[in-house]
């Protein structure tokens, strides 16, 4: 029983994240702007443990592709800001995570959008990016 309790406590310690909680998926719309052909970072998602140490990278899945550009997901470091969804506040720490990047088609101007899902160890975020592309 002691081994089982220790395993449960260790698992719980690993499940604290910066951006999601179990249950209903959390949703947010990120608004960004850029010029035609110029890449823009939408957001970088990180997972952190309750002691603010690095957790495993979240898994990002593009749900709806943009009509006038391309999306890429790639690792990168970010200085953590205020927490979303009541997670522990690790503001000011630099952690690695998964960045969402958008490049609009050359010559396109207007608004484009795409939706994506971010899976954390203890929940899911369904987010939308709306990007205003200026000529």
Residue 100 CB burial class (10 angstroms; 0-12, 13-18, ≥19): buried
Confidence (pLDDT) at 88: 85
Map residue 10 onto helix, strand or coil.
helix
Q: What is the pLDDT tens value at each position of the chain, 135 positions in all?
A: 444 333 333 332 333 334 444 556 789 999 999 999 999 999 999 999 999 999 999 999 999 999 999 999 999 999 998 887 677 899 999 999 999 999 999 999 999 999 999 999 888 999 999 999 999
Classify residue 107 as left (phi > 0), alpha (psi -120 to 50) or beta.
Answer: left
- Residues in Cβ contact with 108 at an 8 Å cutoff, skipping those fewer than 6 apart: 36, 68, 69, 133
Confidence (pLDDT) at 135: 93
Confidence (pLDDT) at 26: 83
Percent of the chain at pLDDT exceeding 90: 71
pTM comes to: 0.78
Confidence (pLDDT) at 23: 58
Q: pLDDT digit string (tens) for 77-98?
A: 999 988 876 778 999 999 999 9
Q: Is 3.40.1130 the CATH classification of the domain at 2-134?
A: no
- Residues in Cβ contact with 9 at an 8 Å cutoff, skipping those fewer than 6 apart: none
Q: What is the largest CA-CA distance in the chain?
A: 65
Question: What residue has token string 């506040």?
Answer: 89
């Amino acid at each position: 029983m002691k081994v089982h309790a220790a395993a449960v406590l260790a698992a719980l310690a690993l499940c604290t994240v910066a951006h999601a909680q179990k249950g209903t998926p959390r949703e947010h719309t990120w608004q960004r702007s850029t010029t035609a052909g110029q890449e823009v970072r939408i957001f970088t998602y990180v997972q952190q443990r309750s002691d603010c140490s690095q957790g495993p990278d979240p898994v990002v899945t593009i749900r709806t592709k943009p009509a006038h550009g391309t999306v890429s997901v790639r690792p990168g470091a970010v200085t953590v800001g205020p927490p979303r969804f009541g997670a522990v506040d690790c503001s000011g720490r630099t952690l690695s995570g998964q960045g969402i990047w958008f490049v609009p088609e050359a010559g396109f101007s207007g608004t484009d959008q795409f939706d994506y899902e971010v899976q954390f160890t203890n929940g899911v975020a369904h987010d939308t990016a709306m990007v205003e592309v200026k000529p």
